[in-house]
Amino acid sequence: MLIAFVIFWALLGLGVFFVAMRGGPGGARRTLHTEAKPGQRLVTLGVVVLFAFGLAVPAIVMAFNGDHKASVASGGIRLTADEQKGRELFARACAVCHTLNATKSVGRVGPDLDVRVGVDIATPAGRKALVLGAITEGRARGLGQMPALLYQGKEAEEVASFVAAVAGH
């Protein structure tokens, strides 16, 4: 991207240079004073190009940047679309009670999921099953109360996949 950008401006610079040189200094003066039109057109073109780039470059940067941030979690983990959805759902209903580094959440009512899921459970499948079980059944094993069915069906799956993917990172 950057290289294409640099090449574009280099070519534009060269183009302007050759146009200016074509008629020599006399030609340039003639262009500017006696034949105002081609010179004006060049200036207008320059303004349009500058304006277009002033809009296009920030737009491109914002578009790519946004994409990148949405799909990459802490530790450089790439998230699927379902896991990205799960991250939103987690932030909405789970973060108040649980610590999870990937969402910068620091809840202390329930166990730290980076430890309880990320460290304690070895396999991705095991992690997902534990989280899904906790969501479906709720928990009250003496460490406090977690209500059951904060999410169901596809949403529960999305949260479980997300937590399983990021816990411990």
CA distances from 45 to 29, 42, 50 (A): 19, 5, 9
Measured between alpha carbons, how far is 100 from 167 in angstroms, rounded to an integer?
7
* Alpha-carbon 69 to chain mean position: 2
Helices 24-33 and 2-22 pack at an angle, to 10 degrees, of 90
Rule CB under 6 A: which of 91-120 touch ligand HEC? 93-94, 96-98, 109-111, 113, 116-117
Q: How far is the CB of 55 from ligand HEC (least distance, A)?
A: 41
Among 135, 164, 165, 166, binds ligand HEC (CB under 6 A): 135
Measured between alpha carbons, how far is 103 from 146 in angstroms, rounded to an integer?
19
Of the pair 73, 130, the CB lying nearest ligand HEC is at 130
Q: How far is the CB of 146 from ligand HEC (least distance, A)?
A: 3
Q: What element of type H or E holds 56?
A: helix 36-71
Residue 136: name the closest of 155, 149, 117 by CA. 149
Site for ligand HEC contains 148 (CB under 6 A): no
Of the pair 20, 169, the CB lying nearest ligand HEC is at 169
Helix (DSSP H) and strand (DSSP E) numbers for the chain:
7, 4
Among 144, 148, 149, 154, binds ligand HEC (CB under 6 A): 144
**Considering only 9-17, 18-26, 32-40, 142-150, which stretch makes contact with ligand HEC by CB under 6 A?**
142-150
Rule CB under 6 A: which of 46-65 touch ligand HEC? none
Q: Which residues bind ligand HEC (CB under 6 A)?
A: 93-94, 96-98, 109-111, 113, 116-117, 130-131, 134-135, 139-146, 150-151, 159, 163
